[in-house]
Amino acid sequence: MDEASSRIAEVTQASTAGFFAQCYELFDLPPLGSLIKCRDGENEILAVTCNASTSSLEPGRRPIARGKTELTEEDVFRSNPQLKQLLKSEFEGVVLGHSFNNEYYHYLPPRPVKLHSFVYLCTTDEIAEFSRSLEFLSLLTSARTDIPSEELVAACIRFISACHADPSTFTAAAGKKLAQIFVDDYPKLRTILLRLKL
């Protein structure tokens, strides 16, 4: 994947712990739990995706059903070419760490990403390298998002494990780390573990 095709979105709202980004292409949303990055000079801020949505660009204008007389869903857009200009796909990035001088750190960066920063999909190598240490699970499990955190944690571990040569070993190690984190919250731990391919 070249740099141009991995650039999928742009930051539209940013804070230390996370950001919101709008996709360049409608519906071109990264999967839940995938890893993305923004650049800050030579360094990078890594985040996990969640809370993806597609909605009207203008808060006061609600999309209405248009397909009653159309044969396919594609035909709805074919008959209404303006729709792609009036809708937006966006998602939230929860920061899991950052890089500095070519080293990954699994805690919050000193500054938030800049507004209008480009958002890139992380490569398999970057994901494998970043997740060599499981310390990122600390930020991941404490993330406050609109979706249940168990769903985000499980989706992220599933996504990252696929980037490792031995996904089962990675998942088992992540499961052990989660057991330490949720030592006093067994129901939550169980919910996550049930969502992992152990």
Please give the residue ranges that form the binding site for other proteins (CB under 8 A). 58, 61, 64, 77-82, 84-86
Minimum Å gap between C-beta 86 and other proteins is 7
Minimum Å gap between C-beta 90 and other proteins is 19
CB of 19 closer than 8 Å to CB of 93: yes
Minimum Å gap between C-beta 82 and other proteins is 4
Minimum Å gap between C-beta 115 and other proteins is 20
The residue type found at 72 is: T
**Radius of gyration for the alpha carbons in the chain, expressed in angstroms and rounded:** 18
CB of 112 closer than 8 Å to CB of 16: yes
Residue among 60 and 187 whose Cβ is closer to other proteins: 60
Helices (H) and strands (E) in the chain, counts: 8, 7
CA distance 8 to 11: 10
Residue among 31 and 63 whose Cβ is closer to other proteins: 63
Minimum Å gap between C-beta 88 and other proteins is 13
Residue among 85 and 101 whose Cβ is closer to other proteins: 85
Residue among 82 and 102 whose Cβ is closer to other proteins: 82
Residue among 88 and 164 whose Cβ is closer to other proteins: 88
CA distance 44 to 120: 10
Q: What's the burial of 71, exposed, middle or buried (CB within 10 Å: 0-12/13-18/19+)?
A: exposed
